[in-house]
Amino acid sequence: MIKKILVLSGGISKERSISLDTGAQVAKELKKNGYQVKISEPDYNLSKNIKNFRPNVIFNALHGQFGEDGYIQSILESFKIPYTHSGVIASSIAMDKEISKKIFIKNKIKTPKFFTYSYDMISSDLIKKIKKKLKFPVVVKPLNEGSSVNVFICGKKNILKILSSIKTYKKVMIEEFIGGREIQVAVMGNKKLGAIELKPKRKFYDYQAKYNISAKTEHIIPVKLSTKKMKKLLNIALKAHNKIGCKGVTRSDFKFYNGKFYLLEINTQPGMTKLSLVPEIAAYKGISFLKLIQWMLRDASTKK
């Protein structure tokens, strides 16, 4: 029987605050329902915490680099204790936007056109390449961040300035900008859980729109799509989940434009905060926050 849960949260990524919020809310819900819970940072005390607490399952509430990119998963494998979400390889692939998009393309999943940019490219060559391959505006994003951290919509006039401001990444993705509707889909194991549409008041569904209540992003559920279109959308999300090799719960981010769905990325560790989308989709489907967490704990395993 699952009774002792170690919740792993915090970390050193730019999404640390979201991870702490996710971890705290998961821990609170479990404690309220009779579970023994310990929260741990993924630091040098982790091994000692696991050894002393001896959890049945580790709930991985980390987000961003070192938390959902296969790094912490490889460490967790060594403890031989079941942990939630995807394993080492799937986490690594999903977090790398370039590799995951190549897998989407290989499996005939429509995704915005893109190329990667490293800072040794001459500015004039970059502008020519964008005009030829993508056209302005374009989306600039790091290859391995989540929660829309340092994602920008750029025109010809500001792209060089934006690229200069995030040059610590050394290499970024420049992607075709797709307008239209923002729709997110949750998958729960092999189950197509459901979808939600977002109408941000901001320019797009960026970090502030996701986590700042004052941003007033409108959440629409059920999504207004025909039965045929909804079935197609859910099938694409499940296909991406399976082709990447994901486990547990994932959330896929789509744009719907001119009757076509474009998959932007798949998130292997979606948030569990008050503004998070997977718990909202689950609640609409009659699955409480507690039941969702309990399912994730039962689904936990060691895996590569």
**Which residue in the list 11, 265, 276, 280 is annotated as catalytic?**
265
Q: Which of 231, 296, 263, 273 is nearest to 59 (CA)?
A: 296
**Which residue in the list 253, 262, 276, 280 is annotated as catalytic?**
253
**Which residue in the list 147, 150, 252, 276 is annotated as catalytic?**
147
**Which residue in the list 15, 41, 175, 197 is annotated as catalytic?**
15
248 counts as catalytic: no
43 counts as catalytic: no
98 counts as catalytic: no
Q: Which of 245, 296, 214, 215 is nearest to 22 (CA)?
A: 296
**Which residue in the list 10, 146, 245, 271 is annotated as catalytic?**
271
271 counts as catalytic: yes
**Which residue in the list 251, 262, 276, 280 is annotated as catalytic?**
251
Please report, as a single letter, which amino acid is at residue 38: K
211 counts as catalytic: yes
**Which residue in the list 211, 245, 276, 280 is annotated as catalytic?**
211
92 counts as catalytic: no
Helix (H) or strand (E) holding 52: helix 46-53
**Which residue in the list 13, 150, 267, 276 is annotated as catalytic?**
267
DSSP letter string, the chain: ---EEEEE---SSTTHHHHHHHHHHHHHHHHHTT-EEEEE-SSTTHHHHHHHH--SEEEE---STTTSSSHHHHHHHHHT--BSS--HHHHHHHH-HHHHHHHHHHTT-----EEEEETTS-HHHHHHHHHHHT-SSEEEEESS--TTTT-EEE-TTTHHHHHHHTGGGSEEEEEE---SEEEEEEEETTEEEEEEEEE-SSSSS-HHHHH-GGG-PEEESS----HHHHHHHHHHHHHHHHHHT--SEEEEEEEEETTEEEEEEEESS---STT-HHHHHHHHTT--HHHHHHHHHHH-B---
Cα 133 vs. chain centroid, distance in angstroms? 27
Active site residues per annotation: 15, 147, 211, 251, 253, 265, 267, 271
